[in-house]
A and B are shown apart, each in its own frame.
Chain A
Amino acid sequence: MADDEQDDQKEYRWETGYEKTWEAIKEDDDGLLDGAIAELIQKAKRKRQAEKTKQNRLGMMRHMFIVLDCSEAMSVPDLKPTRLLCTLKLLEIFIEEFFDQNPISQLGIIALKAKRAEKITELTGTSRVHLKALAGMANVSLTSEPSLQNGLDLALKTLKVVPSHASREIVIIMGSLTTCDPVDINLTIDELKKERIRCSVISLSAEIHICRYLTQQTMGTFGAVLDDSHYRDQLLSQVDPPPAAKTQDNSLIRMGFPHSKNEVEGKDEPLSMCMCHIENLEEPSGLSTTGHHCPQCNSKYCELPVECQCCGLTLVSAPHLARSYHHLFPVPNFEELPFESVPPAAPDCGSLRKCYACIKVLNGLTDKSVFKCGYCNQFFCIDCDIFIHETLHACVGCNTIPGVAGLVYQKQSGKTPSGDTQQQQQPKTMLPSTSKQRVEYNM
């Protein structure tokens, strides 16, 4: 329900007509609300799923700064235990999820302390650094006001030098209702707009005009949180890559694919030290034979993805790239149908109606609606529908029934003679798993 405010930017909730919100919630036979609440949650989940439209062009390489308010307002205990501790906990989840979904992206954290901005972590691609820094922030003293402008300026200074093909973003978490700035903040906003840096704000207190204005100018999103679960949703919605800005420069980026194969079979590699730990005094580099060698300058790293410290080449492995592909080839939404439309199984199997993926026996009481894939015509229960779309990113039916994928594929290649060369060139690394995904992609 809270999402409604996003739909209409002009009208606030208190300006809209009278709503009987309680009528949406109905008690079940036992007078309990659990079922009704679960239904509301399911509906919200599906709604969010439906909103995820197909986007072929996304800002996949993201450089994001999280600007975290560390002012007095963050010690307010309206989010338990305090705003800051709640934020830190959620940020931990966010950072894990961010690097899971955006493996070749970079993140940095800026804290707004007593009218000053302080960079907690530089832009890096490893979650460990950030998680460690976050753990150290729990005991930060929360005093005075934040300065939004100083924070934005600091982030801007760093993001300015990031290559233009990357998607540059700032996510601001504001607890305070005020900001104490050195000069007119509109100058900074204009600069951000000019640099096409996307700024999003999550306010922990209330909607603030200048923050809303900032997000509108820079094409970001604005959200004021209701409670911690809403806060979590707001934060995690930043995990999905945003649509690529139309003005974003596209380019081919040179990348290295290190391989740890021995050059001489049967002979162990010599012991060597890795570059990532060489300057780290707390965890000194150990000698080892394994590691990833930069194909350009041969320096060794123990973790991927990483930017080579010697020659600046971005080093990745093929699965890292594959991890992002599901953003580009999403599973099409399933059609919601009443329970009765599922054909019952053969009589020797008890004439039961089953979910195709998890063989859950469906019954008309708990599974009021079922979901059908438009390509393979298989029926799924609601849990599998959500699991397939949110986690698995591959339709079980389309990937297990050979005819479905094969036939559509043949049709597709027959239709486009000009695309023949492309079809042959289809890579080993990136074939859309099913033809329907490919159909969409070529369109």
Chain B
Amino acid sequence: MPLPGAKRWLILGIALAVIVSYFSPQFNRYYLGVAIDVGIAIILATSLNLINGHTGQFSLGHAGFMAVGGYFSAWISLNIGATANAFWYFPLALTAGGLLAAFVGLLVGVPSLRLRGDYLAIVTLGFGEIIRVFAQNTEAIGAASGLKGIPKLTNLGWTFGFAAVTIYAISALVNSTYGRAFIAVHDDEIAAESNGIDTTRTKVIAFVTGAFFSGIAGGLYAHHKQFLSPTGFDWVKSIDIVVMVILGGMGRTVGVIVAAILLTLMPQFLSDFLEYRMIVYSLLIILLMLWCPAGLFSLIPKRRKS
């Protein structure tokens, strides 16, 4: 059930994003960049949370969808965008990137989601590799040297606007009668199936929706960094997002958002941390799974919505 409260938050979030973005030229450029990174991380983590958290599947290919969306929208910007009205074509380019990512998600998801969970992990892992190979060998998107000169169109407004839309869309989806199917599939697939839920369909919808928002995040990222390289979307990037979701607690939207913010800010302030980042992340994954599978913020009780 889409709560009126959730809608209020959505409008408030977008309004805040627009206002802050209006004043953003006065901010320090470095902090502005970090803030946009945080916004993109929130979109990525929230959308992965729909797949890995709410629906209980396990995707390791989120960076791959991000790459699809990023490359496609950047390609649009470079080839068509120069002549168009800069303000309106940008969200359209982002949406186009998201749609292509969703379509690719459909292609990857349908065969693997019919089966048990572990297949999805491997297939998405392999999918990320395939994307990298294609990006490296396709001249139209810069091949191995990367895609350069993407116009800088991402700003705080668009980033947090899309972040607000993502959070709203996914929480509204999960809390709708329709979206209860995700949680049912997460809790017990066999029981869900015997209650008349088409589990494959439900899983595919969650996967495709997640891929769509990931593609949008990729577009924002492309127009923020102004440069895309095939190696930037390897599986370390996917693991980054997975850690945000696990740390925040799978299926806990607020926790995941907090984790996305924390994990994006941490490397900025602890420069020594980079060297040990992946070791710490992997230890965190193991220890959290052993002792606290509901995430670090599981002390905050999950709000019941009736």
Bound together: no
